[in-house]
Amino acid sequence: MYSYEHKVFIKKNKNYKLLVNFCQFTLIIFFIYLWQFLADKNYINVFILSSPKRIIDTLIKLHISNNLYHHILITIYETMISFILGTVIGFFIASLLWWNKFLFKVLEPYLTVLNSLPKIALGPIIIIWGGAGIKSIIIMALLISTIITIINVTEYFNNIDQNKLKLLKSFNANKKQIYFKLVFPSAISGIINTLKINISMSLIGVTMGEFLVSKEGIGYLIVYGSQTFNLNLVITGVIVLSIISALMYYIVFYIEKKLKH
């Protein structure tokens, strides 16, 4: 049994949360309503700015022509492939760099440069290497997610608690034991942050790749829309993309919650 004071505290907390949710919901409804209102009254040019009703129409058209899910699935598929490959490759290379400090010192400046280089600049080269298909898209996404993973995980590996290292050394642990007993498991519990970053990096990379080369996927829909001056399609694409990224974020968020318990 809780005291009256505690109940009041819980209730206050709950009300506060409810209020936040309510305002979030109201804000988006208000925004959609305002958008539609301005469009109806011709205060804004629907040809350039579209309107909620037109977006719904576009979605229905895509649904009827059966294209929508195809494009969504393609984008998700490409993102997942790059996400998983990027995480695994990035982790592997970071482990190598931890293992060989010298190699790390040598490669460090190159990694920094690669990381700050806008990967889109490599687009034309990637197309020549990978052709105008899914391969190029995944290469593009991998470039982004792998490098950021390497940098994050290496940082994590290099910040392992010195005292814990000392403890293992006092047991005469060899390097392999240090890696598997301490370095890797510590990084695993911190990996979720890398995953969060990585999933959005993969989506960014995939979208960029689809802008460049593809014939399918949400990125392609957006580019196609802009080329045919169909701004309804462009904005619909952007909205679908933000829904996908929100979904993916919440999946990782959910996994994180599960892991913490």
Residues that bind another protein (CB under 8 A): 161, 163-164, 166-173, 177, 181-182, 185-186, 188-189
8 Å CB contact between 153 and 90: yes
Tally the residues of the chain: 261
Q: How far is CA 147 from the centre of its chain?
A: 14
CB atoms under 10 Å from CB of 148, counted, come to: 18
The DSSP letter of residue 119 is G
| CB contact set of 59 (below 8 Å; sequence gap of 6+) | 68, 236
- Give whichever of 116 and 172 is closer to another protein, judged by the CB atom: 172
- Count of helix runs (H) and strand runs (E) in the chain: 12, 0
- Give whichever of 186 and 230 is closer to another protein, judged by the CB atom: 186
CB of 173 to another protein, least distance (A): 5
CB of 189 to another protein, least distance (A): 5
Max intra-chain CA distance, the chain: 78
CB of 166 to another protein, least distance (A): 6
CB of 174 to another protein, least distance (A): 9
| CB contact set of 168 (below 8 Å; sequence gap of 6+) | 177, 178, 181, 182
Query: What angle separates helix 68-99 from helix 218-227, to the nearest 10 degrees?
Result: 120
Identity of the amino acid at 68: L
- Give whichever of 8 and 167 is closer to another protein, judged by the CB atom: 167
- Give whichever of 83 and 156 is closer to another protein, judged by the CB atom: 156
- Give whichever of 106 and 188 is closer to another protein, judged by the CB atom: 188
- The string over 27-39, giving b where at least 16 C-beta atoms fall within 10 Å of a residue's C-beta and e elsewhere, is eeeeeeeebbeeb
CB of 176 to another protein, least distance (A): 11
- Give whichever of 62 and 183 is closer to another protein, judged by the CB atom: 183
- Give whichever of 164 and 196 is closer to another protein, judged by the CB atom: 164
CB of 113 to another protein, least distance (A): 26
Terminal Cα-to-Cα distance of the chain (whole angstroms): 25
CB of 167 to another protein, least distance (A): 5
